[in-house]
Structure 1
């Protein structure tokens, strides 16, 4: 579904937004890709994206939206490995991200660093960034003019994605 317009950048949390687990507490190395879309850890936990994440990433790329990964994960190396091992249309998922800001600290700092790296500080100031995140505490990104979209328990779905971008469109007209 084509929207009226898209933001310059979409920021995506990882854990319980793109996939149904926490990298730093649920995943145990070593990791092994069993297909392009499934990785297993040493406990045979199957790791993959939520069902509609792939189509959302493809749509964002189609409309030239910058994709930023922002996560408070304490194990960024596991997150990087997963995004490298999971594939979308034959390409490592990590290649769909324009910037990755992971580690401790607030999402506001992650987003501000990403905007600076991508030379999009003006666009951030103008409200042209949207964050999709499962943790409501990250609403504080509104203090830097980033629109917050809460992702419910089932992870990022097309419904949440469209509803969130429509809300952003309405708020920034």
Structure 2
């Protein structure tokens, strides 16, 4: 792939995992001896199956990764990232209620990476619309992150950045 983003940003709910952390599951979460993550009620919590491989692939390509989530369940979301051993992949985590534009402005300040060198994966169209206005390449995620979605997103980024200045 000719051009890669410097930063790949992921929403969490319905992008990395198939639920809203603030309404569908009950923190605190824990990992049992059989390595299964469960919520307070004992309900099994899972990621979309290809998420670990997606994050590993980005690392191998030299692309930094960050999280941007508007959830009010900050502790629960952060705890899940750690229990799933995903926290190590994220250079920054912007997890708090509010506009995704604020999340991206803070990511830009913290990383020094221009918006034009970022790609964003999210399942909510309103976030795609808002963040795309910053110049970020935004990819609408249907049915959770997959390697196919990642590949299509990186191809889109390469085309957009090739056409750009």
Give the TM-score of the pair, scaled to structure 1.
0.88
The answer to whether 1:80 aligns with 2:69 is no
In structure 1, stretches of 5+ residues that fail to align are 88-92
1:36 to 1:109, Cα distance in 2 relative to 1, 3 A:
farther
2:147 to 158, 162, 172: 158
Partner residue, 1:7: 5
Change (3 A) 1:7 1:138: same
How far did residue 30 of structure 1 move? 2.9
- Please give the alpha-carbon distance, in whole angstroms, between the structure 1 residues aligned to 2:4 and 2:83: 28
- Note the 1:9-24 alignment, pairs <5 A: 9-24=7-22
Q: What's the Cα RMSD here?
A: 1.4
| SS of the residue 1:98 aligns to | strand
**Aligned partners of 2:51, 2:30: CA distance in 1, in Å?**
21
In structure 2, how many angstroms separate the alpha carbons of the residues matched to 1:119 and 1:37? 37
- Residue segments in structure 2 that go unaligned for 5+ positions in a row: none
Distance 1:36 1:74, change over 3 A: farther
Question: Which whole-Å deviations, capped at 9, do the CAs of 1:53-100 have from their partners, x for residues lacking one?
Answer: 11110011112211110000101100111111113xxxxx10110000
Residue 131 (str. 1) matches residue 120 (str. 2): yes
The equivalent residue for 1:148 is 138
After superposition, the Cα gap between the structure-2 partners of 1:164 and 1:28, relative to the gap in structure 1 and judged at 3 Å, is: same
1:163 and 1:64 map into 2 onto residues whose CA distance is 18
- Please report how far the alpha carbon of residue 119 of structure 1 lies from its aligned counterpart in structure 2 after TM superposition: 2.1
| 1:96 maps onto 2:89 in alignment | yes
Q: Deviations for 1:111-157, whole angstroms, at most 9, x for unmatched residues? A: 1101111122xx22xx11010000011122111110110000x2001
In 1, Cα distance between equivalents of 2:63 and 2:102: 20
Tell me the secondary structure at the aligned position of residue 99 of structure 1: strand
